[in-house]
Structure 1
Amino acid sequence: MIATMIYKLTKDATVEQLEAAGLGPNYAQRDHALFYQNSAGVPWTAAYIQAKGDPLADLYEDIAAEEKARATYQWLIDMTDDVDLQDSLKFLREREIVHALRFKESVQILIDERGKKKVY
């Protein structure tokens, strides 16, 4: 969704506007196409996905990722005065909050159940 928002915000920009916004190198390589990278220009990689194989450790990692995403959406909301963009970002922020809550509930279930013997 973020990539689509960025595309919509930049698709009609002129080369001069893109250069003024610091997007000249991206335009020179990709025209108006998006390239997934962080704010420092580091390309996205699957190495960003963390998994330990332990359910509790993995859920805590998921909670941290959701909270980081929530904070990022809040910073983006604070950076724009475009109400439509803010509404979309608020939806995404709230979704991260709900995800974090569900992961926290899952952690509690695992903690409550880990000492019980299961017979199936």
Structure 2
Amino acid sequence: MRLSHGFVPLLAVLIFLTSLPAGAVPGGIDPDPGPERSTRAEGDFGRSGAECRTSVEGAEAVTYCHNPYPAVYRVSLHIECVQWWDIDVDGSPVEVGPAGTVRLTGRCWEGIASVWVTEQRV
């Protein structure tokens, strides 16, 4: 069986999109995420937890997490790269003490599809 040349790329894209984990790209890729985005960690922490501000410029992401509360939190930066061959980033957890601020960075070779921060109370 011989496939037409227009069908093969369409089939490749379809296979790629169906192989992504659920929620990997919430709402699609935002080509212009703006200068800063505020993110919350997974889970419901109510009015506690570190507040993180993320900026994406090209293929580099920088996140500042500030903990205004008396508890200690561990935050970790996660980056999903645009290209399938580019290695995604799962940063090591970093502790943020009371009234402390940490800087987390990561990058991809070609571009960033999504960035999020997870946190855990210590």
TM-score range, shorter chain: under 0.3
Larger radius of gyration: 1
Q: Calculate the TM-score normalised by the size of structure 1.
A: 0.23
Higher relative contact order (CA 8 A, sep 6+): 2
| Greater strand share, structure number | 2
Q: Calculate the TM-score normalised by the size of structure 2.
A: 0.23
